[in-house]
């Protein structure tokens, strides 16, 4: 597996999708590179690029909400944080992602 | 002696930052990398986290009986300085 080519493939696949939702890749290049690498590995392991910061249960319905980009499943939560949980994506107007804390999701 | 326990993922950069925060301050802690744990231990973690009304989003840190989800250095600082 060519890691860089695989990361680029994920980048090209995700960018138009998240842009349409008002998000972009984080300006924090280091985090983006690390997270994409983890997703390439998760993709190789599970056949799906799951979020590197959410635990899987093996329950297909529950784990579907952890498939990157998982923004649609957590829209209100991520809009509140102006970032997704793992920090791969931020709102389009975000320049300094370090200022955006992880806030627990409010369950119904 | 304050007991710090955390659930983490080996793939999560915020989990790495959380471990680093406590290591930098020589605060001992236990941790379980959820993705490296056996299925039955994962189930125990799922049940405990659900009881806290939390999702399986990591890191999840217990400082004595208080739980903090997400990388939150300010909260760690605040809670550890009370001890």
Q: Mean pLDDT across the stretch A74-96?
A: 97
A45-82: burial string, b at 16+ Cβ within 10 Å, e else:
eeeebbbbbbbbeeeeeebeebbbbbbeebeebbeebb
Q: How confident is the model at residue A108 (pLDDT cuts 50, 70, 90)?
A: low
- B57, B76, B78: best mutation site toward chain A, by most A Cβ within 10 Å? B57
Q: What average pLDDT is seen over chain B?
A: 96
Comparing CA positions, the residue from A91, A56, A52 lying closest to residue B14 is A52
Contact A52 B45 (CB under 8 A): no
Q: How confident is the model at residue A84 (pLDDT cuts 50, 70, 90)?
A: very high
Looking at residue A32, which CATH number applies to its domain? 3.90.460.10
State the angle between helix axes of A29-46 and B13-24 in degrees (0 to 180), rounded to the nearest 10: 120
Q: Which structural domain, as residue segments, surrounds residue A54?
A: 3-102
- Digit-coded pLDDT (tens) for A9-51: 999 999 999 999 999 999 999 999 999 999 999 999 999 999 9
Domain parsing of chain B, residue ranges:
4-81
Residue A28's Cβ-side half-sphere holds a number of Cα atoms within 13 Å equal to 20
**Alpha-carbon distance A1 to A61, whole Å?**
29
Contact A57 B46 (CB under 8 A): yes
Within an 8 Å CB–CB cutoff, is residue A87 touching chain B?
yes
Q: What is the fold of B4-81? A: Glutaredoxin (3.40.30)
- Chain B neighbors of A35, CB-CB under 8 A: 13
The pLDDT assigned to B82 comes to 80
Contact B14 A86 (CB under 8 A): yes
| Total count of domains within chain A | 1
pTM: 0.94
Three-state DSSP class for residue B62? strand
- Digit-coded pLDDT (tens) for B7-45: 999 999 999 999 999 999 999 999 999 999 999 999 999
Question: For residue B67, what is the enclosing H or E element?
Answer: strand B66-69
DSSP state of B34: G
Find the residue in A nearest to B36 (Cα): A55
């Amino acid at each position: 597996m060519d890691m860089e080519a695989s990361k680029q493939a994920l980048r090209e696949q995700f960018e138009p999708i998240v842009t349409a939702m008002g998000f972009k890749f984080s300006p924090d290049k280091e985090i983006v590179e690390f997270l994409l690498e983890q997703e390439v590995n998760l993709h190789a392991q599970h056949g799906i690029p799951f979020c590197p910061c959410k635990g899987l249960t093996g329950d297909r319905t529950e784990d579907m909400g952890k498939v990157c980009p998982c923004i649609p499943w957590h829209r209100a939560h991520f809009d509140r944080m102006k970032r997704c949980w793992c920090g791969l994506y931020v709102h389009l107007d975000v320049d300094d992602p370090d200022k955006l804390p992880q806030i627990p999701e409010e369950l119904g | 002696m304050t007991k710090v326990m955390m659930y983490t993922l080996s793939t999560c950069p915020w989990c790495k930052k959380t471990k680093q925060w406590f290591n930098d301050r020589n605060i001992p802690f236990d941790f379980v990398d959820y993705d490296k744990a056996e299925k039955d231990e994962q189930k125990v973690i799922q049940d405990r986290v659900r009881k806290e009304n939390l999702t399986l989003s990591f890191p999840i840190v217990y400082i004595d009986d208080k739980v903090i989800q997400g990388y939150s250095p300010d909260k760690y600082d605040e809670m550890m300085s009370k001890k």
